[in-house]
Structure 1
Amino acid sequence: MSERGTRTAARPFYLPLKSSSQKLATTTYAPTWPRDTGRYDSSERLPDIEALFDRTLNQIRHIHEVRQRNPNAFDQLWERVCQRLEELNNASAYAHWKQHDIIENSQKYVDLDTELGEAWEYMLSVGEADSETRTAAHRKFSELQAKRAELTAVVKGAIDDALEVAIAYWIEARNAHNNQDNFRAFHCLIESHFFLGITYSPKTDYEAKSDAGKKAGKKERDALADAILDVMNTFIVDKSIRDEETLRGKIFELIQDNPGHREALVAFNEWATKGKSTENSLSDRFSETLRKWATGKNPPYPLIVTGYKRLHQQMRLERLNTNKRPRKANG
């Protein structure tokens, strides 16, 4: 059991593998290319070590500049690694130093994620409380959310620091080569390429589209969310609100009645439909959007979830009160 009282899954135990007993498949040489690129290509010719060093060095620079793994200029990054490497004496010590930072930041992220979940549950539980209590709960949640976002960048930055480790191993490999110790140089380059593999993971087409989708329309979504929240904060449930569909419909009407809110709704609709005509009406599309934002998985706006839940509870209370009211006698 962990300190938080939750059961932690036991790590699976594996016996060490032996390369001498691992199953193999037959391989043959590939055709030899006319030019040596410094890359092992399965042909009879092995890469020239100078070409291998050049290729690895250019891969490191490519990852830094094209993938934007580090905000510093490449020369500045290289100089920083050299200075730190002289302090730590060797690339293995550099790797241990960086890996310790990654593990430490990852644990902080896990702990903060737990706190964020607890704050989220509390914020939902005070939906019927007074305004001051709800505001304090939301402020606490927002503070933890900001810390989590900041730490996420730190964790990702620490992982990206693997590029620095790759540079450190490349430098140690080059020193070994300059000292006529090519066997050691090859081993260092193996480690360098391992850490390059950590940083050099191309985005899939799905990931690229997903990231683009999150950024696209953010301005329109945020503006509509602000309009919904403004209406929710002043909304009073009465007996005309029979169910959730009626509730969403009334919120739509109030947004339509406000010129500024109506402008946000129209802008969102233009973005969502890409200006094309659709079979569904604007009110239906709004109702579905609000339903997803309020009750769907991974809601983008916690305050809408809280406000919607509060109105939903008011709606249930109004129904109970209506049923308890005595009916007038005939005649």
Structure 2
Amino acid sequence: MLHSDNNALILEKPTSWKMDSSVQPLVATTLHPSNQRPTGKYNSSGMLPNMGMLFDHLLSMIRSAHENRQYQPSPFPALWERTCTRLEKHKNATTYEKWKLTSILNNADELRKIDDEIADVWAYVQRTRNKKKHGAHRKVAAGRLKELRLKRQSFKPKAEVEIDGALEISIAFWIEARNAYNVKDEERALHSLLQCSFYLGTTHSPVTESEAQRGRRLATTRDKPRLAILQAAIEVIETFKVTRIIRHQETLCGEISLLIANDPKYSKAVIDFAKWNNKEPSTQEQVSERMQETLFQCAKGRRSGTYAEFKERLNQLFKVASKFGLSNRTKKVKTPTGW
């Protein structure tokens, strides 16, 4: 806080906020008038729900979260039975909680490792195109790449298991609370229900409009390097000359990437892309390989704007390239002009 002393501003040292429940500032509250019958939800009225209603209310909220916040949810009894089986193994809800949170983090780490390995193996396959020199090794690498891509497609990333993961922990604490209540230990039951409510609450947290706007801005900012490369690719396609070696769309993306990487006009876009890609490769060849993978993936996507324009132009060019390559297998054809 600032205050004045002889026309001089002095900054007072702020007092620390004591995290002690007995000294926190309080205000007076009153009971909320209500004629409704207790439903299991606390509503600030003079009538409190009994423990049985509280258990029923939380149970219905857990089920609602599973069925309404999930995309194509599994049957709720299956989620409950799965949690019971795992809770029986882990003995108590706290151990279950630690195991589940650790497994979610490990899931994310494993996903990143798979993506990194795919990028490395793919780059090796692209560097070893000489069949006589690298034939056997390239074949092994190609098989590994196919295996990794299949594994990646079947892998469930963290975002897909987050809701049910939190609900599993919530169910575990609900069960522990109910066990305590059944043996007349209401104090333990209430403590366990607090934990149950916490994890249940994480599945009901809506994103505010300001958060959504901030997320959209960040997404646009983070996507700028890729958009710059796509725009460069669109420009390169305008003057691209088809050759007989182009028989696959991935090869075409590779040729476009090489042109971008070797053109000083796009040096800033290439440098930004290398940093954005988090790999920061040291050679133009490595940069172009990663650009090739990016262009190839974008060509298969369904996004709008620059993505859609690039996809359309690339498909048009590849259509011409395919016809040119097909004709050359049977007779000589002049290189198409205008590409």
TM-score by length of 2: 0.48
- TM-score by structure 1 length? 0.49
